[in-house]
Every structure is written in C-alpha cells, then in structure tokens.
Amino acid sequence: MRGFSQSITFLRESPPTRRIDAIRERLKRERRDIINLSAGQPGLPPPIEIRSLLAKQLVEDNSMELTDTHRARVLLS
C-alpha cells in the first residue's frame, strides 16, 4: 500500500482558521446558535430543473464567457 508523500509534512492549518474555530467552539459551549458558512462541498445537489437548464445552455451557447450576470439573474428570478 502506498503512503503519503513527504510533502505532506509541509502542510499547515492557517492561523485565521484556528482562531475562527476557537471562536466557534467557545460560542457553541455558550449554547449560542452558530451558522457555519465556511467553504466546502454542498450537501445537496442543485434542483434537477436548474441542472437541466444549465446543461441545455452549455450545449446551445458557443460563447466561452466566464460570467454572464444577465443569465444568472434570469436563473435566480
């Protein structure tokens, strides 16, 4: 079985992350409601209607724009 590369020893948790975690833990001990808005993978997939619409637009649209705010507004309305 392969092990981890030695490069893994260079990975460190960022100091701001530690501070945020400490604050979150303190507030949880105080029985305060905490909403974690940290980055990560979503727990639920987008609705099938949204995925279908996006897939259709990807097939039909030949432009390669990074952000199309008009379409984003239409999707969210």
Beta-carbon contacts of residue 71 (< 8 Å; ≥ 6 apart): 57
pLDDT in tens, 11-40: 776 777 788 888 889 999 999 988 777 666
Q: DSSP state, 47?
A: P
pLDDT in tens, 51-67: 888 888 888 876 655 55
Give the predicted TM-score (pTM) of the model.
0.35
In a domain, 36, yes or no: yes
Structure tokens at 42: 């979503």
Contact 70, 45 (CB under 8 A): no
Owning domain of residue 47: 13-76
Tally of structural domains, the chain: 1
In a domain, 31, yes or no: yes
In a domain, 5, yes or no: no
Residue 74 pLDDT: 55
In a domain, 67, yes or no: yes
In a domain, 2, yes or no: no
In a domain, 72, yes or no: yes
Structure tokens at 33: 């409601």
In a domain, 60, yes or no: yes
How would residue 7 be classed by pLDDT, with cut points 50, 70 and 90? confident
In a domain, 24, yes or no: yes
Intra-chain end-to-end CA distance of the chain, in Å: 51
